[in-house]
């Protein structure tokens, strides 16, 4: 099978190393080796410490390679040359579930970085030689290769074809090896299952029992009057509600329908129209559903507000209705924490590390808004 790209499927398991076409590649503008910046440390010794920023190089390499290949590189294997000036064999797993064999040119700044990264492995190999390890174990390969694995949160090195039990063997049954070691993002079913198993413990779409329809209308009228808002006149949103409900699998929030009976967006304060609510919800749902966002990524940098909210970047049970700017939103929460309530009002988004509880209900939210306690 002579092809530049290899599809990730069951047929991959049959692929041999001789079937793979390696594409020669050169990463232009790779920076010269540079030290990691420790200047922010309070300790003087730490500030003066010198170590190469190999993680920074990893991120640069993955970004440049992704741009060159036209798809995000999720995982990258780089294998040291069999001969001194030969290229580095490499396998890149792309976000489109394609795998590509690459030959990195063994020159320039890339070569310098590889020398730094693999230095400790070659030193260890020399120690084994000096101690006569290979004379005592002639079945071992005296000139093994090494493999570097790179990816988001990945940076590891292993021995290749050394004769040790812990060996990596990418050249034997290559297709089966590539299939077995594919990035987790390739397993959509597993990723979706992990997310569902996490979120289902919190889903509660019954909504707040604290809202009173008449009070809600009076509060919103008071908000418009006291804040001198200029809402866009309301329109019929039944089709939007139906589309939302068909995609979400639950009812469009009643309190939002009441608010939307007064407006079709209020730009100067951030209230979204029904169509904008639907589109923003779709955008956040797309992030949640994406295989590029595993559960560990969604939970990685998001903190709960006590036990009132859950610590996750986004999920389909938050309905954003007010844009606070820069990718941040106020939303109705139908997946509250163990001590939270369905229909509570939260803040989430690009800059919201903590998923903040704003109010226990829409009534409470509007009253706080009127009293100037929110904005």
pLDDT digits (tens, 9 = 90+) for 230-249: 999 999 999 999 999 999 99
Q: Where exactly does CATH 3.40.1580.10 map onto the chain? A: 190-370
Q: Which two tokens stand for residue 8?
A: 């990730």
What is the pLDDT, as a whole number, of residue 163? Answer: 81
pLDDT band at 328 (very low <50, low <70, confident <90, very high): very high
pLDDT greater than 50 at residue 336: yes
Of 146, 138, 175, the C-alpha closest to 82 is 146
Q: Which superfamily, per CATH, for 190-370? A: SMI1/KNR4-like (3.40.1580.10)
Q: Which two tokens stand for residue 135?
A: 């004379």
Q: For strands 145-151 and 98-104, give the pairing.
A: unpaired
Q: Indicate the DSSP class of residue 157.
A: E
pLDDT greater than 90 at residue 211: no
Averaged over 109-115, what is the pLDDT? 95
pLDDT digits (tens, 9 = 90+) for 44-90: 776 778 899 999 999 999 999 999 999 999 999 999 998 888 999 99
Of 177, 205, 186, 211, the C-alpha closest to 101 is 177
Distance from C-alpha of 115 to C-alpha of 291, rounded to nearest angstrom: 34
Distance from C-alpha of 48 to C-alpha of 44, rounded to nearest angstrom: 6
């Amino acid at each position: 099978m002579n092809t530049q790209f290899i599809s990730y499927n069951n047929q991959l398991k049959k692929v041999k190393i001789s079937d793979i076409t390696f594409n020669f590649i050169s990463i232009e503008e790779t920076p010269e080796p540079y030290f990691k910046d420790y200047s922010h440390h309070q300790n003087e010794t730490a500030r003066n410490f010198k170590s190469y920023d190999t993680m920074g190089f990893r991120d640069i390499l993955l970004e440049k390679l992704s741009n060159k290949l036209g798809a995000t590189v999720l995982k990258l294997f780089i294998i040291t040359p069999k001969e001194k000036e030969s290229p580095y064999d490499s396998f890149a797993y792309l976000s489109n579930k394609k795998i590509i064999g690459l030959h990195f040119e063994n020159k320039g700044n890339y070569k310098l970085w590889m020398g730094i990264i693999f230095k400790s492995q070659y030193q260890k190999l020399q120690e084994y030689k000096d101690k006569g390890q290979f004379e005592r174990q002639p079945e071992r390969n005296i000139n093994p290769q090494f493999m570097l694995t790179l990816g988001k949160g990945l940076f590891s090195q292993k021995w290749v074809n050394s004769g040790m039990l812990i060996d990596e063997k990418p050249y034997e049954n290559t297709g089966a090896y590539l299939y077995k070691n594919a990035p987790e993002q390739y397993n959509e079913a597993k990723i979706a299952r992990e997310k569902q198993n996490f979120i289902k413990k919190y889903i509660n779409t019954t909504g707040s029992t604290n809202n009173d329809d008449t009070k809600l209308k009076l509060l919103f009228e008071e908000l418009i009057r006291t804040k001198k808002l200029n809402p866009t006149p309301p329109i019929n949103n039944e089709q939007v509600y139906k589309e939302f409900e068909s995609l979400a699998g639950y009812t469009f929030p009643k309190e939002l329908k009441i608010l939307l009976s007064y407006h079709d967006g209020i730009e100067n304060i951030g209230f979204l129209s029904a169509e904008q609510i639907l589109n923003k919800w779709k955008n956040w749902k797309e992030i949640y559903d994406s295989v590029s966002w595993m559960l560990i990524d969604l939970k990685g940098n998001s903190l709960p507000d006590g036990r009132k909210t859950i610590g996750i970047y986004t999920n389909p049970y938050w309905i954003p209705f007010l844009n606070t700017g820069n990718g941040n939103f106020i939303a109705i929460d139908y997946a509250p924490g163990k001590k939270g309530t369905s229909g509570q009002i939260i803040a989430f988004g690009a800059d919201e590390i903590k998923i903040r509880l704003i109010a226990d209900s829409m009534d409470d939210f509007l009253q706080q808004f009127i009293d100037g306690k929110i904005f």
